[in-house]
């Protein structure tokens, strides 16, 4: 039975950064890419806020760069999906990871960087304009809608935060809340209501995202009187929550009620020895490529330290 030093699950900024650091530390990491190689960034057109790309870069190219850099130092990148994990509770024991329901990998350390998935409404028209006006990240894509009108969907803290962020850039922001109240904290709601160019439409739901090549309007319905209307807007932002991709770790790793993995403060250390978590799978707050990359680095350093303690 071959036992590897370090297995990384996930191929977003956290996973590839962990691979760069782990391979440079001679841990010969194997990285399992998962269903969406490159992660959430591969659905983003332009990334302009990642340091080191002064002209900006597309999400897919940036992730290809991350991958090449990890491979340059000897990381083994494998196309496949981890379908089961049997994590050891004893320090020094190996963890068993099953890929695509068949291949078994035995590893001393596991770095989890499985990310999170933004929730979407599930409309066909929403899918059609993904990356051409539809986005689930105001910080990533808001800039492209400077001085334009946009619609944000959601009533939680994310929606409040994204809507107020966009209001600083855009001419007008409409916030569609499906109930007659917002779930967001009082302080966030106050910010929303204190913003002049932000209009909250309670009891409104989205019927269709409309446009030609890019979004130009949103058909919405007032659920109180069933009246439909069209809002002219070039951006449509979803802020209805994220789901961390951590289901396979349930009952083994500590997670919060939503499923975000819990790590010890200022580290990537989970409740099990030799298992580390990084990126959006354990971060419900920042959720940026740069913070994910930083935590991937932390996870590789924590794994290296754990292995040297075993030696």
Among the listed residues 137, 170, 280, 297, the single catalytic one is 137
137 is a catalytic site residue: yes
Residues 268-297 that bind ligand NDP (CB under 6 A): 284
Question: Would you state the structure tokens that stand for residue 185, as one six-digit string?
Answer: 């904290």
Residue 233, SS3 per DSSP = coil
Interaction mask 236-255, ligand NDP, x per CB under 6 A: ----xx--------------
Tell me the pairing of strands 134-135 and 198-201. unpaired
Beta-carbon contacts of residue 108 (< 8 Å; ≥ 6 apart):
3, 4, 5, 6, 92, 94, 95, 274, 307, 310
Using the rule CB under 6 A, which residue among 80, 156, 259, 294 binds ligand NDP?
Answer: 156
Closest Cα to residue 43, out of 135, 128, 126, 162?
Answer: 135
Q: Based on the residue annotation, tell me whether 141 is a catalytic residue of this protein.
A: yes
Distance CA 15, CA 111 (A): 8
157-196 positions binding ligand NDP, by CB under 6 A: 157-159, 161, 178-179, 183
Report the distance separating Cα 112 and Cα 110, nearest Å. Answer: 6
Rounded CA separation 185/183 (Å): 7
Tokens of 303: 């794994």
Nearer CB in complex with ligand NDP: 98/240: 240
**Which of 32/184 has CB closer to ligand NDP?**
184
- Residue 162 CB, nearest approach to ligand NDP (Å): 8
- Size of the residue set binding ligand NDP (CB under 6 A): 15
Give the dihedral of Cα atoms 159, 190, 289, 84; nearest 10 deg: -50
Give the nearest residue (CB) to ligand NDP. 156
Cα dist. 4→72, 76, 149, 170 in Å?
A: 19, 11, 52, 50
Residue 69 as a binder of ligand NDP (CB under 6 A): the answer is no
Q: Which is nearer to ligand NDP, 53 or 165 (CB)?
A: 165
Q: Is 212 a catalytic residue?
A: no
| Least CB distance to ligand NDP at residue 200 (A) | 12
CB closer to ligand NDP, 24 vs 183: 183
Q: Which is nearer to ligand NDP, 156 or 294 (CB)?
A: 156
Catalytically active residues are 137, 140-141
Residues that bind ligand NDP (CB under 6 A): 121, 153-159, 161, 178-179, 183, 240-241, 284
């Amino acid at each position: 039975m071959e036992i590897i030093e370090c297995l990384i699950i996930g191929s977003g900024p956290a996973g590839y950064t962990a691979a760069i650091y782990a391979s440079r530390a001679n841990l010969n990491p194997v990285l399992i890419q998962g269903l969406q190689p490159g992660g959430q960034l591969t659905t983003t057109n332009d990334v302009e806020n990642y340091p080191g790309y002064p002209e900006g870069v597309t999400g897919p190219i940036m992730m290809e760069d991350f991958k090449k850099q990890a491979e340059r130092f000897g990381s083994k990148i494998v196309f496949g999906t981890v379908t089961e994990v049997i994590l050891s509770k004893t320090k020094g024991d190996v963890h068993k990871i099953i890929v695509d329901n068949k291949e078994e990998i035995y590893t001393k350390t596991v770095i989890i960087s499985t990310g999170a998935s933004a929730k979407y409404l599930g409309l066909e028209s929403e899918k059609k304009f993904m990356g051409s006006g539809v986005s689930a990240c105001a910080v990533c894509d808001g800039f492209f809608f400077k001085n334009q009108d946009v619609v944000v969907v959601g009533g939680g803290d994310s929606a409040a935060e994204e809507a107020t962020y966009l209001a600083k850039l855009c001419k007008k922001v409409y916030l569609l809340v499906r109930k007659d109240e917002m779930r967001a904290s009082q302080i966030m709601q106050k910010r929303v209501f204190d913003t002049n160019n932000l209009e909250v439409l309670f009891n409104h739901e989205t019927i269709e995202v409309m446009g030609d090549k890019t979004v130009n309007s949103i058909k919405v319905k007032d659920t109180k009187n069933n009246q439909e209307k069209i809002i002219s807007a070039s951006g449509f932002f979803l802020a209805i929550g994220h789901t961390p991709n951590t289901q396979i770790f349930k009952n083994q790793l500590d997670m919060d009620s939503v499923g975000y993995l819990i790590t010890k403060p200022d580290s990537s250390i989970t409740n099990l020895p030799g298992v580390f978590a990084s990126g959006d799978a354990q971060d419900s707050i920042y959720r940026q490529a740069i913070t994910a990359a930083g935590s991937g680095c932390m996870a590789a350093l924590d794994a290296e330290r754990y292995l040297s303690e075993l030696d």
